[in-house]
Amino acid sequence: MRADRLVAALLLMQARGRVTAAELADELEVSVATARRDLEALSAAGIPVYPQPGRGGGWSLVGGARTDLSGLSSTEAQALFLLVGPAAAVPGEAKAALRKLVRALPQTLRADAEAAAGATMIDPTRWGERDRRRPEMVDLLQDAVIRRRQVELVYTSGAREQSTRLVDPWGLVDKDDIWYLIAGTARGQRTFRVDRIVSASVTSGTFSRPSSFALNEAWETVVGEVEERRSRTWAVVLLDARFERVLRDQFGRHCSTEESLADGRVRVRVGAPTPLDIARHLAGWGGMVEVVEPAAVQAQLGRIGAELSARYAE
C-alpha cells in the first residue's frame, strides 16, 4: 500500500538523514519513478522534506531531523527482535517486516536490534518430531478475528458429536502447539479446539467484541477451569527426596510437597482427573514410590501390576 511506503520513506530519512530516490526504490522494492513520486507526494502533503540536487544530493527532512518516528526506545527495539527474530516458527511475513523495520531504525538502535535477533534461536519441535506447522485453519480464523467477521463452524465435541455453529471469533490462543478459539455464541463465551473444527466458513455477518473482553484474562479463566478438572483426584505418595524434581516435572502444577521425612523420603501430593490417571503416571516408577492414599489409586496400581505380571512373568 502507498501509505506503508510513505511511512517507510519517512523512517528511512530520519534514520539516514538523506536518501536518494534510487536508494529508496531499492529499500522498498519499487521503481525509481515510484519512489520519486512518493517523495514528491510527501512534500506536497506538507511533510517537511526537501530535495537537494547535485552530486551527493538526495531527499532530507528539514533541519536533518533525527527523531525516532518508529516510537521505539532501544529497550523496546531489542525486546521486539528477541521475541520475533529467533522463533523458527514465525511466519515469513513477520520476518520480512522485521527486516524492513531494522533498516528504518536509527543507527544507534539498529546494531542492538540486529544483535538481539541473532542472540537466540527457538526450535519448538521436540526431539523425534517432524517440523511443526501452523494449521491452515488458524490463518482463516485469525483473519476473521481481525476483520470482525462471523464464522460458521462444523465442530466435533470431545464426545465425538458433530454440530454446526455460528460464532463470533474473539481471539486465538496457542498452548503447547494446540490452538484454541475463544468465541461468542448464542449461549455465551465458548472455547473451541481448532483441531476439532471439521470446516469453517467466513460469513458476511459482522460482530462487535464486548468492550470488557480481554483475551489474556479470558484465557486465564479457561486455564483455571481446565486445571481444576484435571485435578479432581488427589493421592499422597512417598518417594526418595532425590527424585522429587522428576515427579514434579511429571505432574506439573498438580504436585506439591507436604513434608520431608527422617528416612530421606518426602511426602508428596499429586493430582489427576481420575484414580486410573494417577496410577498410569506412577506405574512406571515401580517400587520407587509408595502410595499412601487413596485406596482407589492403590487398587488401580495393583490391577496394572497384575496385568503386567501375567503377561510378562515368563
Same domain, 40 and 59: yes
Q: Select from 228, 256, 288 the last residue of a domain.
A: 228
The answer to whether residue 264 sits within a structural domain is yes
The answer to the question of residue 140 being in a domain is yes
User: Residue 95: inside a domain, yes or no?
Assistant: no
Residues 237 and 255 both lie in one domain:
yes
Q: How far apart (Å, rounded) are the C-alpha atoms in residues 257 and 30?
A: 63
3-class state of residue 91 by DSSP: coil
Residue at 32 is within a domain = yes
261 shares a domain with 246: yes
Both 236 and 219 in a single domain? no
What pLDDT shows up at residue 26?
A: 84
Same domain, 239 and 156: no
Per-residue burial over 209-247, b = 16 or more CB atoms within 10 Å of its CB, e = otherwise: eeeeeeeeebbeebeeeeeeebbebbbebebeeeebeeb
- Domain CATH code at residue 255: 3.30.70
- Same structural domain for residues 217 and 243? no
Residues 6 or more apart whose Cβ sits within 8 Å of residue 54: none
Q: C-alpha cell of 253?
A: 502444577
Q: Are residues 195 and 210 in the same domain?
A: yes
Calculate what percentage of the chain has a pLDDT beyond 70: 75
Segments in 31-185 forming alpha helices (H): 32-44, 74-84, 92-104, 107-117, 136-147
- pLDDT category, 100, cuts 50, 70, 90? low
| Tens of pLDDT, residues 157-186 | 888 899 999 999 999 998 877 899 999 999
Residue-wise pLDDT for 8-21, tens only, equals 777 777 777 778 88
> What pLDDT does residue 69 have?
47
In a domain, 237, yes or no: yes
Look at the chain and report how many structural domains it folds into. 3
Q: Considering the chain, what is the average pLDDT of its residues?
A: 83
Pair (140, 215) in one structural domain: yes
The pLDDT of residue 119 is above 50: yes
The per-residue pLDDT for 28 is 79
- Its domain, for residue 277, covers 230-312
**Whether 148 and 214 share a structural domain:** yes
Residue after which a domain boundary falls, among 31, 47, 64: 64
Residue type, 149: R
Residue 240 and residue 218 share a domain: no
- Report the CATH number that the domain containing residue 39 is assigned in CATH: 1.10.10.10
Domain assignment present for 92: no
Q: Do 177 and 228 touch, CB atoms closer than 8 A?
A: no
Residue 143 lies in a domain: yes
103 lies in a domain? no
- If one counts every other C-beta atom within 10 angstroms of the C-beta of residue 104, the result is 23
CATH number at residue 188: 2.30.30
Mean pLDDT computed over 56-83: 62
- Of the three residues 169, 200, 228, the one that is the final residue of a domain is 228
157 with 212, same domain: the answer is yes
For the stretch 244-280, pLDDT in tens is 999 999 998 899 999 999 999 999 999 999 999 999 9
Same domain, yes or no: 272 and 249: yes
